[in-house]
Chains A and B, each alone.
Chain A
Amino acid sequence: MLISLYTPGNSPVHRTPAGLKIVLLFIFCTLLFLLQSWWFLAGAIAAVLAAYLLAKLSLTLAWQAMRPALWVLVLIFLVQLWLNDWQFGLYVVLRFAIMIVAATLLTLTSKTSEMIEGIERSVGKVFGADVAEKVGLAFSLSLRFIPMVRETYQEVREAQKARGLGRNWRALITPTMIRTLKSADDIAQAIDARSAGAPLAKDERHHD
């Protein structure tokens, strides 16, 4: 059900650690905003497209990444055309587009599981192993909860459809929420019961 956007491969881009790619991406985007120059922008576009080819990814993937933002880009161009001139409009739109394409490269070449592990590790370094453990639990639980909530939502939707409320947000959300909140409490109790002796929490609360 949950399909990650990762595209498998074994290129140097794929093998670079996700954490390093994130740092590089932030440096890249900051420089794009600090250095307002056509030469730098042109170099940046060439570098990102070269990285796509190096990762053996088709450039249509870069295009697909931009497509949802296309109307915003057109709008920005028109506003710039009206405020300034077409050259500056083109500059802003290209800068915008290349940031999205560069960020998509990171997503396409980094495994979701590796990135979650990376987050846990970084959290562990900054806040300690105790917090990292909680973050790990939160990640795994949320991934498990998505199909559970979806199932509950579909049951509720079937029932509300029969009442003619299939598109009524309130009638769909309230029962879904109350039912899943109840399940969440049961799950919390089960986790506490199983990890008795190694409590995650300092203040153990009693749940009714």
Chain B
Amino acid sequence: MTTRDIVLIALFAAIMAVLGVFPPITLPVIAVPITAQSLGVMLAGGVLGAKRGALSMVLFLALVAVGLPLLSGGRGGIGVFFGASGGFLLGWIVAAFVVGLLVERFWESLNYINAFIASVVGGIVVLYALGIPWISVVAGISLGQAFTGSMGFIPGDVVKAVIAALVIVTVAKSYPIIKK
């Protein structure tokens, strides 16, 4: 791990913090407000690659855990990991890793479509596969019910995957980090 790797990991943890104060957008059909922070998870893997992306999530979550109110809505502290979204928060580490792994694989022929696929697989499929069982345990409901309850967030996450794909490809073209 070079100094540059450490600097990039620290930078992305800071980018996550700033995404937490982004203006949320609301889709017309569903009432769930969409925050930009989970978009940062897809970007971390897509811009930095698997290993550095995952480590930047570890660092960001460590900053949250030691008491800095960096999650969107000014939440922080160990308590958030015991809430309903605890599985999703820890899932960010794996999600960023998977997005990064796929973008690295697609790197030579990276375009909007495969960057979108990478963001969906890592940032939605893998993330929900980790977040839903957690909800099911803490809320004492079945996996199916936890799954149904989480569906409201999917449209917003698809929008985020589209934006992530656009940003990942633009950054890869103008300032590539994964392979120079």
Contacts and interface: CB of A to CB of B under 8 A. Distances in A.
Interface of A: 2-6, 22, 25, 29, 33, 65, 68-69, 72, 75-76, 79-80, 83, 88, 92, 96, 99-101, 103-104, 106-108, 110, 112, 115-116, 119, 134, 137-139, 141-143, 145-146, 148-150, 153, 167, 169-170, 172-174, 176-178, 180-182, 184-185, 187-188, 191-192, 195, 200-201, 203-205, 207-208
A116 B66 contact: yes
A72 B83 contact: yes
B68 interface: yes
> Top 9 A-B pairs ranked by shortest CB distance?
A107-B77, A145-B14, A141-B10, A103-B79, A115-B66, A201-B2, A188-B4, A142-B10, A142-B13
Interface stretch (B89-97, B114-122, B168-176): B168-176
Contact of B139 (A96, A142, A146, A176): A96
Interface of B: 1-11, 13-15, 17-19, 21-23, 25, 36, 39, 43, 47, 59-60, 62-63, 65-69, 73, 75-79, 81-84, 137-141, 145, 149, 163, 166-167, 170-171, 174-175, 177, 180
Contact of A178 (B73, B81, B140, B174): B174
5 contacts: A65-B79, A72-B139, A80-B139, A83-B145, A103-B81
B79 A104 contact: yes
Contacts of A83: 141, 145
Contact of B47 (A4, A92, A177, A191): A177
A145 B11 contact: yes
A71 to B, nearest CB: 10
Contacts of A188: 2-4, 6-8
Nearest to A191: B3
Contacts of A3: 69
A145 B79 contact: no
B63 A142 contact: yes
Contacts, number: 197
B175 A181 contact: yes
A17 to B, nearest CB: 14
Contacts of B78: 22, 25, 103-104, 106-107
Given A25-B78, A177-B171, A201 B14 contact: no
A167 B25 contact: yes
Contact of A146 (B9, B18, B167): B18
Given A139-B10, A142-B17, A146-B17, 13 more contacts: A79-B139, A92-B139, A106-B77, A119-B62, A137-B6, A149-B11, A150-B18, A169-B163, A170-B163, A178-B171, A184-B4, A200-B6, A201-B3
